[in-house]
Copies of this chain bind each other. A is one copy, B any other.
Amino acid sequence: MQLINSEWTITEEEVARKAFDIAYKREISSLIDSVRYKASNLAEIDDMWRLHDFLSVKRHEVDGRYDYHLPMLVFVFAGLVKDGWLNLSELEGLNTDKIAKIAALACM
């Protein structure tokens, strides 16, 4: 099962870029809502440091996740599907082999 260095057609690259951007916007929007909610409920200093820890983790996750390189996109999309930021249907247009790999990895 070859997972990296697969060839991507121009159409597939367009589908991939669009799906990537959709997931990114979706996750960031959800994250902003979470931070607003947590901040509106701050009552004491420990809540504030918990918000700081939360932001540290999320920044690390987001920086690591949204790195657009074609050879690694199968893994990126699998993670996004697994974590609920992307639906497999939004990858329609990729070849069936790639979709199958993404679906399989997302279940691991």
Which residues of A pack against B, CB within 8 Å? 28, 31-32, 35-36, 38-40, 42-45, 47-49, 51-52, 55-56, 59, 62
Which residues on the B side are within 8 Å of A55 (C-beta)? 48-49, 51-52, 55
Contact B42 A32 (CB under 8 A): yes
In Å, the complex CA distance between A43 and B59 comes to 16
Which residues on the B side are within 8 Å of A32 (C-beta)? 42-45, 47-48
In Å, the complex CA distance between A51 and B52 comes to 9
Which residues on the B side are within 8 Å of A39 (C-beta)? 35-36, 38-40
Could you give 22 example pairs across A and B, Cβ below 8 Å?
Answer: A28-B44, A28-B45, A28-B48, A31-B45, A32-B42, A32-B43, A32-B48, A35-B42, A35-B51, A36-B40, A36-B42, A38-B39, A39-B39, A40-B40, A45-B62, A48-B55, A51-B55, A52-B52, A52-B55, A52-B56, A52-B59, A56-B56
